[in-house]
Structure 1
Amino acid sequence: MVDEKKTINVDDAEIDRLFEEYQKTKDINLRNELVNRHLYIAEIVAKKFVNRGIEYDDLYQVACMALINAVERFEPNKGYKFTSFATPTIMGEIKRYFRDRALLIRLPRRIYETSSKIKLATEILSTKLKRPPKVEEIAEHLNMSLEEVLEVMEASTNYLPQSLDQTMYEDEEMTLGDVLGKSDDSLTQIENIEAIKKAIDKLSPIEKEFVQKRFFEEKTQREIADEMKVSQMYISRLEKKVLKKLKDFIDGTKMPI
């Protein structure tokens, strides 16, 4: 893993030169130097996600891996600074890390911690080998037995939530989503109508008349004003008052007098 020194006051011209040289040579030492110079970004972004159920060290490792990927993908001739490119890249990777670990069942701590190490080792070896690593290579990298790695991989997979699009049985089209209960929108609509009826019953006679003309007969404020022999301004204020009364009642607050 790269050295964790922090270098915040970097020289933009020097950074651009290093990136241009790295694009040409793909020298691993150049890449590590660029990563080391920008580790502070990984630290800052990782700290934004602490106290959300995942240890800071894990977040920092994910941020560092995202930083390495950002260094490899950055193109200095695009006209923007590396910090502007790396920050959203790292944030996106950490958010994806959270999504991937939104497990329906909490993993045992040993399995969870080892699974995180295996994932990180897989990413490191993939970058190094330019291909997905074999299980034997992951085990060697982590100084673990092949059986231990396979055990944790299998356990982690079993704890992951299943897709609702997954079929329940082979050769059948019924999915898990097909057997789950669903909310009935028509029931919600009935509840809303009943709530509105009760709210209207609390209105004064003139307010009920206004509601009838405005919302059931769909008349304009001008038409209602002419029929009720009042100004349009009065109708406008009445509408605001009625709507507030209805909202307050439906929300469960006290009806204004």
Structure 2
Amino acid sequence: MPSRGQAGETADSTLEDLDAAALAYAERREGAAPAEAEASRERLVHFCLPFAGRLARRYRGRGEYLEDLEQVARLGLVKAVDRYDPERGSFTAYAVITISGELKRHFRDRTWGVHVPRRVQDLSLEVGHASMLLTTMLARTPTTGELADRLGVTEAAVLEAVESAAGYSPASLNAPVADDGATEFGDLLGGVDADLEAVTDKLTVTDLLLRMPPRERRMLAMRFYGNRTQAEIADELGISQMHVSRLLSRALTWLREAMFTDDPPHWEGETRGSRPGMQVSVVREGDTLVVRVRGEVDRDTAERLRIGLRHAIGGKGVPAVQVDLSAVPLVDAAGVAVLLDAVRAAAAARVEFGVTGAQPYVARILAVSGLAGVLRRA
């Protein structure tokens, strides 16, 4: 029976001995008693142990003890003996495949410090083995292209396998990096996050933005998240750049005030708890219908005001309509157009029309737009 000292025998005689021994074992196993079959199995396994050891030594120098590799190889040998079928071909070829598979599986599942896909693990082992062979043959370190040609894969696959090999034995965060051992590798990673203190403010601003009217929220997003200029915002929203500047200034002022209080201040022109956006209400005071407007009159809300004024002016027995703008902080071009339309409609219906309570800025806008004649003092 071969021993470890016979490792130098030729590969051909080894292959012939293993195949012959396996065939003899298969013949003795047929019709033998269980005890006799088990004894024959043990003799074949013992006879093949040097062969398994040689296969295990192919994988030494990769961070695993040779004794552990030999145990894995012997386990593969036992599996090969138990599953051997003479009708399927050479026992030696089958044993090589089975034992090598067990060794590769051991490296893949037991030794990697970081999870790496199975195909990359297998290729990494093959790249390492091919690199040693080519280094011996070429007397230099092989190139990526030479490794790829040797293994029949792409250069990108070889590079991926080489990079993934670093995950086999990752550096420990507790490894000392100084002679005194007081400083560990993990102490050099990371640092104080200067933005950590701003997390609370960011969460507060996020909540406040959700409380703002949709248009102001959209404008702030376009300005500070989309890096849009005021002119670009004005073109997209269909308003003037001055109007955009004014709305942004008011929104930022509201945000600053709201950041320092648990009860955010209400928007100018709106009562607490009121529905955001412009509101129109109509009340009768004697012979006059008073249309009270609350909130900004702009492109988004002007149509609502136009419909309200049309209904008020077109009502039966209405001698006068008065628009109360005391709660309106701003009227843009769309709002001016609605009021001009109301003036024409009132003249056609022979209804007296007037505007009261306009704030100074709104009054100036209406005056330069040709509505000075309908402005009334409250």
TM-score (norm 2): 0.25
TM-score (norm 1): 0.35
Higher strand share: 2
Give the number of the structure with larger relative contact order, counting CA–CA contacts within 8 Å between residues 6 or more apart.
Answer: 1
Report which of the two structures shows the higher radius of gyration computed on alpha carbons.
2
